[in-house]
Amino acid sequence: MARSPNLDLSVNMWQLVLRAAACLGIIGSGLPLPPSPPARRLRGHFLPRRKLFLLIEEWIDEYGPLITIRSGLENVVVIGRYKAAVDIMENQGKSLADRPRTAGEFLGDGMGIPFVPKFGEKFRRMRRALHTHLQPKAAEAYQPMQMSHAKNTVLDILDDPSNFENHLTTYDATTTMKVAYGKTTPTLATDPEVIEMSQLIRTTGAVIRTSAYLVNTIPWLKYLPWYSRDLKQGFERRKNIYMGHLNRVKEQMQSNVNIYPSFAKYMLESSDIFGFTEAEIASLTGAFFGTGPNTSAVALCTVLMAAACFPEEQAIVQDRARCAPTFADQESLPRLHAFISEALRWRPLASNGLAHLATKDVIWDNYCIPAGTTVVGNHWAISRDPEVYPEPYAFKPQRWIDEQGLLRDDLKFFVYGFGRRACPGQHIANRSVFINSALILWAFQLALDPTKPLDDMGFMSGPRQQQPCTIEFETRIPETELKGMMQNYPEVA
């Protein structure tokens, strides 16, 4: 049953009351908010659109592990140190499992995981469905497919090394379509549905920023037919694409053909268990492709850039075996895992983090984060915590290796977010990053083109006009032999 507009308005008003009260210090335990840098504007702090994380880092260094930033009438608490992130975002994660309301919720269908604002029954059912299908054991079913597409990435780089970022983006798009819908996508450039989805994804980053649209702070704007018509139309187009994909899977199931396992197929078969309508299943499945940037592709670009920037470390992790690595080699390559972990700490994917909303007062170290406050774990500042990552500005994969030469189990980084809002697809994403990194570093020697500019923060800075770095790929075995080995590499449709 749909909620009435009056109920929506009352919920919105209650959230606004909580936020205003938190800002004015009316509620809470009597403990102060974390310290706030001086603001020179009545509207609060000036926050640059690009590389905000560098300013946050300066403030964290000066004012401590937690800071309060004022944006209009709203307080935002930013966490910038490892221990505080674990204590608050992980150990008290239930109190921060909510999201601030965004345009994605107001103007969309509310089924994309980043847009679900309330940690309630609906959110728990969504998470249970995703985790059941994407847990580590279940994710293993996709490994043969990931190996097959990673092999294609090596061949694409061999044929056209200058467009390595496009090849990695193609890998990300094709594997995501396969996991979500069981669909084989020819290439990113030729599949019209993938092209349209890629265009729609570009709006998502702006939508999930709480300051991007007035509807985030003035909820009743969503009832005005003229407000943000382009965004509403974009969400409607996305829903139509999602439903089209789901109907295709449904038709395949009804025709009794042997189809590839996918999340859409799993949800249609399990509809009685989770209690979602087909429209809700379509939106939840579409969230695989439509709720964020190409995470695996950006992670892989970061790993390859790190290899080119630090050739001595690249040489340490490169596999000397003549046979191409597979998932069976995971446990025998701890230094590759360490290199990947260090690359994603060195240049974190979500440098500024995503917003959480406190549903009740959170106490930490004589500070109070009142209910209704937006809380963000700043990945860049946390990754620069010198107590956890000594020499944080140095690229040191060895920090992830213990005295026995094995991968440490007492050190982590929050690549996929925090607590109950961590990305449920992280196990598949980790496997994608591993197998592509293993194959590419086995097949090629990577080096920066010294004649081209390098922006080593380019992959973590959002939309850009040009590729942040130019990498030269030199085969480590004769090209004809490499092609032959790739042709014999495990092939899965």
Q: How high is the pLDDT of residue 486? A: 93
> Could you report the per-residue pLDDT of 116-128, keeping only the tens digit for each?
656 677 778 888 8
The reported pLDDT for the residue numbered 424 is 84
Q: Could you tell me the pLDDT band of residue 368, with boundaries at 50, 70 and 90?
A: very high
CA 119, 279, 257: angle at the middle one, nearest 5? 120
Is position 492 within any domain? no
Indicate which CATH number applies to the domain containing 422: 1.10.630.10
Instruction: Name, in order, each residue with C-beta under 8 angstroms of 130's C-beta and a sequence gap of 6 or more.
Output: 113, 263, 284, 424, 425
The whole-chain average pLDDT of the chain stands at 83
Alpha-carbon gap, residue 280 to 285, rounded angstroms: 8
The contacts of residue 156 (CB under 8 Å, 6+ apart) are: 163, 167, 170
Query: Which pLDDT tens digit goes with each residue over 22-47?
Result: 554 444 568 999 999 998 777 788 88
What is the 8-class DSSP label of residue 94?
G
Helix, strand, or coil here: 73? coil
In a domain, 69, yes or no: no
> Measured between alpha carbons, how far is 449 from 165 in angstroms, rounded to an integer?
15
Triad 44, 107, 11: Cα angle to 5°: 70
pLDDT interval class at 4 (50, 70, 90): very low
Residue 92 counted as domain residue: yes
What mean pLDDT comes out for the span 331-357? 94
Give 493's pLDDT tier (boundaries 50, 70, 90).
very low
**Which pLDDT value is given to residue 73?**
74
Segment 82-97 mean pLDDT: 93
* Mean pLDDT across 81-91: 96
| pLDDT (0 to 100) of residue 490 | 76
For residues 155-168, average pLDDT: 94
* Mean pLDDT calculated for residue range 334-338: 96
Task: Flag whether 111 is in a domain.
Answer: yes
Contact (Cβ atoms closer than 8 angstroms) between residue 22 and residue 77 = no
Within 10 A of 484 (CB to CB), how many other CB atoms are there?
Answer: 12
Count how many domains the chain has. 1
Residue 2, pLDDT > 50, answer no
The whole-number average pLDDT for the span 239-249 is 89
Considering 15-24, 75-84, 416-425, the range whose residues carry the highest mean pLDDT is 75-84
Please tell me the predicted confidence (pLDDT) of residue 419: 85
pLDDT of residue 27: 47
The reported pLDDT for the residue numbered 71 is 79
> How, if at all, do strands 74-79 and 374-377 pair?
parallel
- Which of 380, 396, 287, 393 is CA-nearest to residue 338? 396
Does 493 fall in a domain?
Answer: no
Share of the chain above pLDDT 90, in %: 52
Q: Report the alpha-carbon distance of residue 382 to residue 65 in Å, rounded.
A: 9
Q: Check: CB of residue 461 under 8 Å from CB of residue 380.
A: no
Per DSSP, the three-state class of 460 is: helix
Q: Would residue 54 count as lying in a domain?
A: yes
Range of the domain at 385: 5-64+74-487
Residue 7 pLDDT class (50, 70, 90 cuts): very low
pLDDT digits 0-9 by tens, 172-226: 888 888 999 988 765 555 667 666 666 655 555 555 554 555 555 555 556 666 6
Q: Compute the distance between CA of residue 170 and CA of residue 150 in angstroms, rounded to an integer.
A: 10
The yes-or-no verdict on residue 110 having pLDDT over 90 is no
Q: Is-contact 180 262, C-beta < 8 A?
A: yes
Tell me which residue of 145, 144, 133 sits closest to 263, measured CA to CA.
133
**What is the value of pTM for the model shown?**
0.87
20 within domain boundaries: yes
Residue 245 belongs to a domain? yes
Using pLDDT thresholds of 50, 70 and 90, give the confidence band for residue 157.
very high
**Percent of the chain having pLDDT more than 70?**
78
DSSP 35-53: P----SBTTB----SS-HH
The secondary structure of residue 119, as a DSSP letter, is -
Q: Using alpha carbons, select from 380, 372, 381 the residue that is nearest to residue 99.
A: 372
pLDDT in the model for residue 217: 56
